[in-house]
Structures are given as C-alpha cells and as structure tokens.
Amino acid sequence: MNEMSLERPSVATADAQDDWWRGAVIYQIYPRSFADSNGDGVGDLPGITARLDHVASLGVDAIWLSPFFTSPMNDFGYDIADYRDVDPIFGTLEDFDRLLERAHLLGLKVIIDQVYAHSSDEHPWFRESRSSRDNPKSDWYVWADPNPDGSPPNNWQSVFYGPCWTWDARRGQYYLHNFLPSQPNLHVHNQEVQEALLATAKFWLDRGVDGFRLDAINFAMHDPELRDNPPVPEGVGKRTRPFDFQHHFFNQSHADIPAFLSRIRKLMDDYGSRFTVAEVGGEQADREMKLFTEGPDRLHSAYGFNFLYADRLTPELIQSTIELWPGAAKEGWPSWAFSNHDAPRVVSRWLNGRDPDDFARQAMLLLMSLRGNVFLYQGEELGLPQAEVPFERLQDPEAIANWPETQGRDGARTPMPWRDDAPNGGFSPVEPWLPVDPRHLPLAVDRQEADPDSMLNLTRRLIVLRKKHPALRGRAIRWVDAPLPLLAFERGQGEQRLLCVFNFGNEQVDWPIPFGWRIIEQVGHQLKPLSGFIAERAN
C-alpha cells in the first residue's frame, strides 16, 4: 500500500462542546432485546434505564435507541403509527423521560431514530390520505394511477418483497412503499409533510434528546415522473430478491433531499450541540453520504454500510472505504459500524472458520482505531456471534420472505445475555420474543465482568484509549507501507501520532516495528494471525 495522508484542516467552533460527537463512540440499543423489566418477554424502556450503568461503564459517549414509538410492529418499530408517543410494549413517555434523565446523569448523550421516509399504514395521516382523493392529506403519501391495463405505474421493486406498489380500492390508485406494503412512503416533496416531520423533531428536541439517526433517508423522495428503473446487467451482483434486479435511480435518491436535510440541520442548530447522522444504504451510498453531510448547513455525519455488508475484512476494503473521506473542503464526517440490527454480527460474518474470540478482539481494536465516529452494537462488547434462530421462531419479515437464501436480521436481534445462570440469560423470566442462543450464555455480562482478560474488559480499555488519545478521535490518518495481509496506518500528527498495525491473514508475518515506537495496546501475539497493536512514539 502506498503512503498517503488524509488530513482535514481544523474547524473553529464557538463552543468545543458543539463537536462532542466528532470521533465519538455511540452504543446502539435495540429496545426489544436489551432488557425486559415487566416479564412479558420483550425489552422495554425501564429495562434499558435499569441497565444504563453497564453502558456507562464502557466509557461510550452516547446511546442510540432504535424505534420505541407507537407501532403495529410489522417491521418492529420502523413502521410508526404515532411519531410522538411510546408504544405500550416499551412503556410510556414518562418512562422515556426517566431514561433520558438517567442517561444524562451518567454522562451519556441520547440519540433516537427518526423515520421520515415512510410511516405505518395505521398512522392517522395515511388513514385520512387513503379515504379519498380530495381530503386535506390526500397528497401526504405517494399515490399514482394504474397503467391502462391495471398494472402498477412502473417497475419499481421494494426492498423486502416484489413491486413497490399496492392497490387501494378506496382511492382507485396505487400507493408507493419501498419496504413492506404496511409502510407507505410519505410524500416528502410536499411542504406540509416536511413541516409535520420538523414538528415531530421539535417535539423530541424539546424533551431533551441530543440527536437523531435518520433512518433510510435516501428513500424519502422519489422521481415525480415515475420513470422506470433500469435493470442491472445479468451476472452483476448477487440476486436474492426482486429488488436486486434493478438500479434504484428513481424510487430513491432524489436531488431535493439535501434541501430538506438543511431544514432539519437549521432546526437542530437552534438547540445547540445536537447531532444528526443519516443512515444511507444502496448503490449510490458513497456519493449520498458525502452529499448529505456537505457544508455547515447539512447533517453532521452519515452512517454507511461499507463494512456492514462486506463479505470479507481485508486491508483493501478498509483503505478504500476510509479514502472515500479524504478531508476535502466542506466535507462532512463519517460514522462506521461493524455490526447493527440489520446485518449479521461481525464475529460470524467475517470469521471464515477462525477463532471467534481472537477475531472479535482484533475487530474491536480496528474499529476503535478508525477515523470517524464508532457505532457499537449491543453485545458487540461481549463478542457475541450471530445467533441461530430456527425458521419456526423467525420474526423478521425479510428473513421469512427470503429464507433460506439470506441470514435475515433476527440472528442479530436476539436478547442480550446478562447472566449465564439465569433463565433466558437474565433478559426475561419468561420465553423471550426471540430465543437466546445457548452459545451466548458463556459470554454473558456477569461472566465477563469477573474476568479481567475478557472481551468486555478489553472493550472498556480500548474505549478509554480512544478517549485518552486525541489522535484516535481526530481527523488525520496516514497509510504506512506494509506487506499484505498487514494493514498499517498512523493516526494524528506530529508528536501525537499513533501507529496502528493489523494482520488479517492466516499466517504470521515478519515485519519489524519501525524504530522509535513503543506498543501501548495489542491483541493477540505480535503479527500472528488475527493480531493487532497500537504504538506511540517512545520517549
């Protein structure tokens, strides 16, 4: 690999606290699976509040809560029927306020999901919109007449199933949905819809949240001309769904999205040091991540799938991904994750038959070394592998629809194991909504707490290291020439530099540490398979 520098000039701010998020470690909590406080088998907000001490003990800067809003749960909370209330399965608004207060007392910022591309078909807005073609909200969703033969207006395919269009006899039209038929797309081109969404954001900001993750935001606007998407040439990419057969140029990624994001950013700035991160997936994600965060009037960061959907972890993948953000003028700030609720857990996805504990440790050291924000998914600090969920216990509509061709999402969403000797790992006294994988019990929090050499305690140590060294949270990264399968790079500048080296191969590599460096943290034995180290300048 060639040596190069990716450095961004310092940006002055009126208050350093405004940049609390830059380089932060943010812990994702999937509420259904974190902790069950009332014994119904489903995690809830009081359960999260009771376990926040564990999260704070990691040393993270913030938590991100996946949706807890009122929902029929067809897509487990990403189909929202009331943007401004808590679903009873998770608790109440007062429970959320108590969670927020406890998190802030522990020094944790709180980021919540906002889903602006679509709602549930049970949302009052959609119920009114579908009632007629001339009601006040008739244009709040995307409606289209059929073709002369009665077929859908174009060839767009949804992420989960087949066509993006579902017929509604009440209006005698089709409505657009990029995901489930029960998740109709909001017509975000409509200024009244934008105002309603901004009012929703204001509702949560007024309650004291510290930021938003904007879910699937590149699906928020469509091509008003409803042009057909072109097909993907045969033999290009893996095809497990109709969605994979076409380029999604017109059902998402409209050029007007950044202007709406600027409106969101303006509102956020009125509240001080708040944080916005866009979830951006798909074939245009690299371009859109940068577009959505470009300049001071758009989002702070974007959350990409470069690592989440990669089949293998290689030096080439890491370098090419980080180089997408070279530090150009007006460039935003990236956020990275190796695991989340939508992707198989990293320990299983990239393991390739190797030792899972060694790999989990190397992956954590790498993640904490990268330039950008770090999103850490619940259980990742324990080194949990992807859970095995039998077909009859599957809950995820995507997993059920595409089984057995995809692993689906349920295996990453199983309950958090708190105690190895308690029923269901201490998550709930009753059978939980998804089964606890027996392989997770020896990795439970209580077992790892007692072991100073555990994955849990390593994670704590690495987060402290990232906080201690501004180089790891800052902008500068410089690639260092090293033979494959090694990856070597420096973080920081001048005397504040750190050297980070990893061996992703299956054999030991003989590569002497450059003169003048002293190892301050390492996993595995030096440059053996699945090892890595961070070094600083020796005095």
What SS3 string covers 68-86?
CEECCCCCCCCCCCEEEEE
User: What's the distance, Cα to Cα, between the start and end of the chain in Å?
Assistant: 28
pLDDT at 15 over 70: no
Average pLDDT of span 476-498: 94
Quick one: which H or E segment has residue 103? helix 93-105
Can you tell me whether residue 304 is helix, strand or coil?
Answer: coil
The closest alpha carbon to 416, from 375, 377, 379, 390, belongs to 379
Contact assessment for residue 27 and residue 175, using Cβ atoms and an 8 Å cutoff: no
Closest by Cα among 4, 252, 242 to 142: 252
Q: Among the CATH numbers 3.40.50, 1.10.3470, 2.60.120, 2.60.40, which is that of 477-537?
A: 2.60.40
* CA distances, 410 to each of 387, 413, 432 (Å): 8, 5, 13
Q: Which distant-in-sequence residues (6+ apart) come within 8 Å of 527 by Cβ?
A: 486, 501, 503, 508, 509, 510, 511
What percentage of the chain carries pLDDT values higher than 90? Answer: 86
Mean pLDDT value across the chain: 93
Residue 408 — very low, low, confident or very high, per pLDDT cuts 50/70/90?
confident
Q: Are 154 and 142 in contact (CB under 8 A)?
A: no
pLDDT of residue 21: 96
**pLDDT in the model for residue 406:** 66
Residue 204 contacts residue 116 (beta carbons within 8 Å): no
pLDDT, tens digit (0-9, with 9 covering 90-100), for 29-53: 999 999 999 999 999 999 999 999 9
In Å, how far are 67, 308, 334, 356 from 348, measured between CA atoms?
25, 12, 25, 8
**The amino acid at 421:** D
The predicted model scores a pTM of 0.95
In the predicted structure, residue 305 carries a pLDDT above the cut 70: yes
**DSSP bridge partners of 63:** 27, 110
Q: Which are the contacts of 14, defined by CB distance < 8 A and separation ≥ 6?
A: none
Per DSSP, what are the bridge partners of residue 534? Answer: 500, 521
Q: Say which CATH topology domain 21-117+189-221+256-465 has.
A: TIM Barrel (3.20.20)
Closest CA relative to residue 252, chosen from 146, 118, 406, 114: 118
**Is 279 a known active-site residue?**
yes
For residue range 308-365, what is the model confidence (pLDDT) as tens digits? 989 899 999 999 999 999 988 899 999 999 999 999 999 999 998 899 999 999 999 9
Q: How far is CA 525 from the centre of its chain?
A: 31
pLDDT tens-place string over residues 116-142: 999 999 999 999 999 999 999 999 999
Tokens of 248: 């999604």
The pLDDT of 394-421, averaged and rounded, is: 86
Q: Determine the Cα–Cα distance for residues 363 and 278; give it in Å rounded to an integer.
A: 24
Which SS3 state, helix, strand or coil, does residue 176 take? strand
Q: How confident is the model at residue 495 (pLDDT cuts 50, 70, 90)?
A: confident
Domain boundaries, the chain: 21-117+189-221+256-465, 477-537
**16 pLDDT tier (thresholds 50, 70, 90):** very low
**Consecutive H or E run containing 58:** helix 52-58
Out of 61, 113, 121, 215, pick the active-site residue: 215
Side-chain-facing half-sphere of 353: CA atoms under 13 Å: 2
What pLDDT is recorded for position 26? 98
Q: Please compute the mean of the pLDDT values over residues 176-200 and round it to a whole number.
A: 98
Phi, psi at 393, each rounded to 5°: -105, 0
State the pLDDT at residue 13.
Answer: 34
Whether residue 166 has pLDDT greater than 60: yes
Residue pair 382/427 in contact by the 8 Å Cβ criterion:
no
21-117+189-221+256-465 and 477-537: same fold? no
Q: What is the mean pLDDT of residues 209-225?
A: 98
pLDDT at residue 18 in the model: 66
Quickly state the pLDDT bin for 441 (edges 50, 70, 90).
very high
Give the active site residue among 36, 79, 95, 279: 279
> According to the 3-state scheme, what is the secondary structure of 444-477?
CHHHHHCCCCCHHHHHHHHHHHHHHCHHHHCCCE
Residue located via tokens 């060639």: 2
CB of 277 within 8 A of CB of 211? yes
